[in-house]
Each structure stands twice: as structure tokens, then as C-alpha cells.
Amino acid sequence: MSSMNWIRNFAIIAHIDHGKSTLADRILEICHAIPKGKMREQFLDRMDLERERGITIKAKAVRLQYFSPGQKREFLFNLIDTPGHVDFSYEVSRSLAACEGALLLVDASQGAEAQTLAHAQVALAQGLVILPAINKIDLPAANVERVEKEIETILGSNHLPITLVSAKHGTGVEELLERIIEYIPPPQGEKTPHLKALIFDSLYDPYRGVLPFIRVVDGEIRRGMRILFFSTKREFEVLGVGVFTPEMQEVECLGPGEVGYIVCNMKNIQDSRVGDTITSADHPISQPIPGYRKAKSMVFCGFYPVDSERYEDLKEALEKLQLNDASLHFEADFSEALGFGFRCGFLGLLHMEIIQERIEREFSVEVVATAPHVVYRVLDKRGEVLEIKSPRDFPSPGEIEEAEEPYVEVKIIVPSAYLGGIMELCQGRRGTFKDMIFLEENSVLLTYELPLAEILLDFYDRLKALSRGYASLDYEFVGYRPARLVRVDIFVNRERVDGLSFISAQDNAYYRARYLVGKLKNLIPRQLFVVSIQAAIGGKIIAREDIPALRKDVLQKCYGGDITRKRKLLEKQKEGKKRMKAIGKVRIPQEAFLAVLKSEP
């Protein structure tokens, strides 16, 4: 038999925070991948943002050598640690495409949650072997029996044996590794000149260009070979191949079943499409590996530099970030109120927040972000279909023949005690009930169809509040549905601020407009003059508030000639002003633009 017998490719999947990266730590230790002294918690979470937030954002592959005491020989593991957050689900599905098996981890105290189910279903659909494990059994609140029942509901009664582990203390991890060898099949591939490899990720390196991360299915890839990218039909020469140990390390070649990266002097990240197939230019295959759905931006918003002179810097920041994040979209945009900027597309709200934070932190460009919204489709009276990526472009009521908005199928897992409140919430958000299953006596899986726009409108916060934090949520795009929609415009001192416009279901428009206007009154700092805030639909004012003028500053004594203190105070005040966007004479802070997303106090 070929050496493939001694390879195991698997991903760790779970709901957020169930301990994937911590389990990966233990596996790295058992395989002696990290020199002693270099080890730290969640070793694979290397980005600053990942470490600060304590979450995984990018999936990471590692190649490990594992000596199995049971089989008395060495195995090669390719492990992929995946993120748990719903925004990054596409990272999970593409990682799974490079594997034969998945470790499904469930927190013993939390039980199965929405992404437990979602990721398990993706793995099942891709035909992977799922090895379930219950983590955090050391916690006093652990309830193994209950979680076992839930796993059985999700995976069916003939699931593989469940391993009980504590990733924190290392309990049960050796047993789990032996089961990986036993149950997850080695890759099936052939040593042929007809190379077939799948791109599952890529990285931009300023010196070496784009590095596609690949999983070889058949054949071999080595330096000097000419390769062909199936979808782009472009040819490149392989300048190097390597693996992740987790550091990048050059190797001779990657054979069937192996996972690594290649260097091929590629400049444009669009040339390395995730899901694409690589083959040999001299001995091409005829059929690519079935690809998977491209990650689609669901959420859009405008990014504008606070200081309009930094437009070019913002552009450069977005370009650089896009090199490593093919799911980030942007196009130039102009707003009457906010000036030149970009209309950006994201996978979800967390993705948007992270990109904004990285722009401000890594590129020191301060941005004002308008409230995120979905893409609407409008059939206008002339019979033309418009894709609306900015509320500004939404036609007035008279011009619309029919409007459609994106819907998602939402899966919510919630303790049965909170079921009523959650159903009311979904109902109130224009939801359609689909299904309800008990995963276990006390835990329910609810399925609804909802407009995606409602999810953006603080749905998650409400869900958490109504369930004392226990409910979890996953959603998937299911298509466009007709809707009665209107655009609400906001005027500050009679000047329209297009960045504050929003599109709303007609029935809620009044309520939302009044609420937003009230919020803005508190968020826009008082100025030397009275500021009026109005909301209007197609020219008709539906809500109004006035911000009274400032009345008085602090009149300070000037102690012992400390003029500098006084001046610094003024300079700080000026600095604070700079962080806001000027609309006419009124300064509007970032929070005001996000207030559009709050539905109730």
C-alpha cells in the first residue's frame, strides 16, 4: 500500500467558543510541534484581533507527525482549526473540502448550538466522517448525558462513538487521536502525472505574492512544474512547495492526500479562486473537482474617511485587506453628505466590524461606517431590474413596480423555557414558521424564514436578551421574496444626510423613523445653534426632534499660569470634533450612523 495509508486529514468544527483552538493546542503538544517555551494558549490564533477577541477568524492548517502508541508507528496529520462564528461559516465549508473527516466538538455545559448543527450538516453533505467529542467535561456545569442525546439527534443513532475530553486539561485527547486513526479514512488518491489539487485558501505575502493553499487529490506537485488553474485557465510555474508546521516550511513535493501551499509568483488574488482546481499544464485532467459556492457578500455599508483627504489611504487599506480576504468587496462611492468613500460588501456584521477595526488599527485611517444593510432588488416601472446596494439608490414609491428583499432560513437552538419569547420575536420580524424539533427534552431547534434585513436590525441582541444568552442562531440565504418597502430619509438642519437613510418595511417605517430620530437627538452633540432632525418618506415628514443649542461651557480658573492645560483642552476638543463627520455646520459622530440598526430600547 502507498504511504497514503498513514495520512489523516481532518478539521475541527464546533460552535463558537466550544474549544476548537484549545483542543488544537493539546494536539500540537502531543505531536511536539511547538518547542517548549513557545507554547501559548490558542496557539493557532495568531492575528492580534484573534488574540484580543479570543476567537478564531481564519481557518488554519497544520501538518503534524503523530506517533500512535496503539499502532506503534508514525502518522501524518493535516489538521485544520476552523472558526466558529456564523460570519465565517464559508471558511469551515472550504476547509472541510480538504478533509476526509471532521471532529465535531460540543461544549458539555452549553450543549449543541446553532453552528454545531450547521457545520455538522455541511460535513455530512460533503460525505465526511464525523467523529463527535464532548469537550469541557471538567466544568461543574457539564451535562454529558444531555449532550449525548443532542448529538444523537443531530448525527443519527448510528453515529461513531463519542469521546469525552477536556481540551483544557488534556483529558481524553490521546484516546481521541487513536480514534481519528481508527475511524477517519486515509485519503484516496492516485500517483499519476495528471495532477488534481483543490485550492481551499490563500495568503498574500508581500515578497512571494499570492500563495494558494492546496490539498492534493491525485498526482504530485513539485518545484519547476507548470500548472494550470482551471477556472481562470491561467498557467503558472511552481517556484516552491511547502507545508505548515505551523510555520511555513519548504518541502520537496506534495503527494496525493497531502496539504500545503505553493509559490508561483502570482500577483492577483483573484487568480487563486478558493474552490478552484489546479492541474498539470502538461498532463491536464478533463473534469475539475466540483467546486463550492463562492462566498457571497450579504451585508453592505459605506466606508468614508473621516478626513476626506485620506480617501487614497482608505483605498489602499481596502486593497491590501482584500489580498487576504476574497470575501471583502468594495467599489468607489460618493455620498452628498459624507463625500468620497467606498461601498463595501461583507459576509456579516462581525466581518464588517473586524474590517473597520483593521483599517483603523493597521492603516491608521479613521472611517465613518454607515449602517449595514442588505441588497434589495427593484423592478421599476420601465421594467428594469435594479440591484440596490445603497439606500440612496432606492427609487421613490412612484417608480417601483415591485421590490424584493433577501430572505434567510434561520435555525435557532433554544432551551424550551424561552421558546415562547423567541417565537414572538420571529413573528414580529415578519418571520414564517417552518419547523420545530426537540433535540432533547429541554432544547429545541426552531426553523423560520426571515428577511435578512430583520437579522441585521439587532435581532441577535434581542435573541440573546430574550433567552438570557442561551439561544444561538445560524442562517442561510434562501432567495429573494417580494416586499412592500420604503426609503426613509433623514434631514439634519434640513440637509439630507444620505448616510442615515434606510430602507424599511412599510409597516414599520413610522415606528423606526421616530425611534431613530429620538436616538439621534441624544447622539449628536449639542452645537452653538438649534439643530433639527427630521425623517421623511418621499418628501413627507413623519418625525421630528430638535437638539437644543449648547448653553454653557465649563469656565475654568487658570491656575498658576498653566495656559498649556487650557490650550490642550481646546486642542482635545478640536481632535474630538475631527473624529466626527461634518454635515454643513453640524458634526455627526460615528454612533449616529449605526443607530439606524437599533429597533427598540
Partner 1 sequence: MISISLYVHFPFCQKRCRYCDFVSYPLTSRTEHQAYLALLQRELSLQMEKNVLQGRELLTVYFGGGTPSLFEAGDFALFLEEAKKFFPFRDLPEITIEINPEGFDIEKLTAFKKIGINRVSVGVQSFDHWRLNILGRWVSLHFLTDLFAEVRKTFSSWSIDLMYGLPGESLDLWQRELEQALEFDPPHLSIYNLTLHPSVPLYAFWKKHPRLFPSPEFEALVWEWIVRRLKKEGYHHYEVSNFARPGFECHHNLRYWNNDEYLGLGVSAWSYISGKRRKNTSSLKNYRQRLAKGELPIVFEESLSPSRKLGEKIVLSLRKNEGIPREFLYAWGKIERKEKHRIIERLIQEGWLVEVDGYLRLSPKGFLLANQVCAELIDSA
Ligand X SMILES: Nc1nc2c(ncn2[C@@H]2O[C@H](COP(=O)(O)OP(=O)(O)OP(=O)(O)O)[C@@H](O)[C@H]2O)c(=O)[nH]1
Residues near partner 1, by CB under 8 A: 528-529, 550-564, 566-567, 569-570, 573-574, 577
By beta-carbon proximity to Mg ion, the closer residue of 42 and 277 is: 42
For cell 476552523, what's the residue?
A: 82
Least spacing, CB of residue 523 vs partner 1, in Å: 17
By beta-carbon proximity to Mg ion, the closer residue of 21 and 115 is: 21
Residue 535's nearest CA partner among 597, 594, 488 is: 488
Q: If binding is defined by CB under 5 A, does position 21 make contact with Mg ion?
A: yes
The neighbour count for residue 325, using CB atoms within 10 Å, is: 21
Contact (Cβ atoms closer than 8 angstroms) between residue 191 and residue 203: no
Least spacing, CB of residue 122 vs ligand X, in Å: 15
For cell 413573528, what's the residue?
A: 427
Residue 593's identity, in one-letter code, is: F
By beta-carbon proximity to partner 1, the closer residue of 332 and 550 is: 550
Q: Which helix (H) or strand (E) holds 554?
A: none
Q: If binding is defined by CB under 5 A, does position 56 make contact with Mg ion?
A: yes
Q: How far is CA 467 from CA 143, 156, 450, 473, in A?
A: 19, 27, 19, 12
Which residues lie across from 486 on neighbouring strands?
504
The grid coordinates of residue 321 equal: 485587506
Beta strand segments in 493-530, E: 495-496, 502-505
List Cβ neighbours of 529 (8 Å cut-off, separation of 6 or more): 549, 585
18-26, 126-134, 336-344, 480-488 -> range binding Mg ion (CB under 5 A): 18-26
Least spacing, CB of residue 142 vs ligand X, in Å: 9
Least spacing, CB of residue 275 vs Mg ion, in Å: 23
By beta-carbon proximity to Mg ion, the closer residue of 139 and 386 is: 139
Q: Which residue is nearest to ligand X (CB)?
A: 84
Specify the length of the chain in residues: 601
Least spacing, CB of residue 497 vs partner 1, in Å: 22
By beta-carbon proximity to partner 1, the closer residue of 362 and 571 is: 571
The option from Mg ion, partner 1, ligand X, none interacting with 168 (CB < 5 to 8 A, set by class) reads ligand X
Least spacing, CB of residue 548 vs partner 1, in Å: 8
By beta-carbon proximity to ligand X, the closer residue of 33 and 375 is: 33
Q: Which helix (H) or strand (E) holds 29?
A: helix 20-30
The neighbour count for residue 575, using CB atoms within 10 Å, is: 10
By beta-carbon proximity to ligand X, the closer residue of 103 and 238 is: 103
Least spacing, CB of residue 52 vs partner 1, in Å: 24
Burial environment of residue 442 by CB neighbours within 10 A (0 to 12, 13 to 18, 19 or more): middle
Residue 124's nearest CA partner among 81, 92, 82 is: 92
Q: If binding is defined by CB under 5 A, does position 20 make contact with Mg ion?
A: yes
Residue 79's nearest CA partner among 96, 94, 56 is: 96
Bond prior to 246 in cis (omega within 30° of 0): yes
By beta-carbon proximity to partner 1, the closer residue of 309 and 384 is: 309
25-33, 52-60, 279-287, 521-529 -> range binding Mg ion (CB under 5 A): 52-60
By beta-carbon proximity to partner 1, the closer residue of 38 and 552 is: 552
Counting DSSP H helices and E strands in the chain, the numbers are 14, 33
Per CB under 6 A, residues contacting ligand X are: 14, 16-22, 42, 54-56, 83-84, 135-136, 138-139, 166-168
The option from partner 1, Mg ion, ligand X, none interacting with 93 (CB < 5 to 8 A, set by class) reads none
The option from partner 1, ligand X, Mg ion, none interacting with 17 (CB < 5 to 8 A, set by class) reads ligand X
Distance CA 78, CA 102 (A): 11
Least spacing, CB of residue 594 vs ligand X, in Å: 23
List Cβ neighbours of 512 (8 Å cut-off, separation of 6 or more): 488, 502, 504, 599
The option from ligand X, partner 1, Mg ion, none interacting with 564 (CB < 5 to 8 A, set by class) reads partner 1
Least spacing, CB of residue 558 vs partner 1, in Å: 6
Least spacing, CB of residue 18 vs Mg ion, in Å: 9
Distance CA 96, CA 293 (A): 13
Least spacing, CB of residue 384 vs Mg ion, in Å: 46
The option from partner 1, ligand X, Mg ion, none interacting with 558 (CB < 5 to 8 A, set by class) reads partner 1
By beta-carbon proximity to ligand X, the closer residue of 165 and 588 is: 165
Beta strand segments in 497-539, E: 502-505, 531-537
Residue 448's identity, in one-letter code, is: Y
Distance CA 123, CA 92 (A): 9
Residues in the interface with Mg ion (CB under 5 A) total 3
The neighbour count for residue 153, using CB atoms within 10 Å, is: 16
By beta-carbon proximity to Mg ion, the closer residue of 167 and 535 is: 167
Binding residues for Mg ion, per CB under 5 A?
20-21, 56
